[in-house]
Amino acid sequence: MSKVIELSDVSIFQEDNLILNNINFSLNEGEFKYIIGKTGSGKSSLLKTLYGDVPLKNGEGIVAGYDLINLKKKDIPFLRRKIGIVFQDFQLLTDRSVKNNLLFVLEATGWKDKKEIDNKINEVLADVNLESKIDSMPHQLSGGEQQRVVIARALLNDPIILLADEPVANLDPDSSDDIMNLLININKKTNTAILFATHDYRLIQKFPFTVVRCYEGELLEHNVLNR
């Protein structure tokens, strides 16, 4: 099974502050892992490093075939086409419909053929069960529905990795479970690897996968959650 993320002897800094030291981590194609840890423990810094927002200064890091140490600024958009990113705070364009939010991303990443664009938008909305909301504005959607749009947006360029940074933190338990079931279905259907940052222990217990804990500058991996 091929590795879509592989970090070896990596240290992660925010400016001059050492956040994670000498870490080793991998994520296989089609694998689902949680990353947990207290606020400030390094979860977000790790994710930002993986999608090129925080430069990697030492160690070895390969993400979706890209060498993070030698990653050039011009290569970052191409790396991010292979990574779908799901944020906690939806970041939808509030003045555009669901369709036009998705259209904006496709046009920004080079899609030109109108029929292919329409087909792709319909495909990802079907994947998240939101076909009927294609013309809705974000404010007309529930929090769970808005997060489904965000997931649809993340799927537009057929990523091999989904990075989810606290994606259910603003949702009630039922909506959180719906999003988890959706991501698990996507993981199984498309073989997309998922790294899911959370502090919601209820979710981890209900949907058990390998857990990686950020703790005192280290990454500790558990097959089951140790509380």
The pLDDT of residue 226 is 44
Give the domain range for residue 97. 89-158
pTM score, whole prediction? 0.90
21 and 60: one domain? yes
Give me the CATH number covering residue 63. 3.40.50.300
The pLDDT of residue 5 is 97
Q: Which helix (H) or strand (E) holds 8?
A: strand 3-14
Q: Can you spell out the DSSP letters for 91-148?
A: ---TTS-HHHHHHHHHHHTT---HHHHHHHHHHHHHHTT-GGGTT--GGGS-HHHHHH
Number of folded domains that form the chain: 2
7 and 69: one domain? yes
111 and 65: one domain? no
69 and 96: one domain? no
pLDDT, averaged in runs of 10, over the chain (227 residues): 93 86 94 90 90 91 95 91 86 93 92 93 94 95 92 93 91 92 93 93 92 90 60
With beta carbons less than 8 A apart as the criterion, state whether 21 and 5 touch.
no
151 and 166: one domain? no
166 and 77: one domain? yes
pLDDT, tens digit, 9 for 90 and up, residues 60-105: 999 999 999 999 999 998 998 899 999 877 789 999 999 999 999 9
124 and 70: one domain? no
Residue 196 phi/psi, 5° resolution? -120, 105
169 and 78: one domain? yes
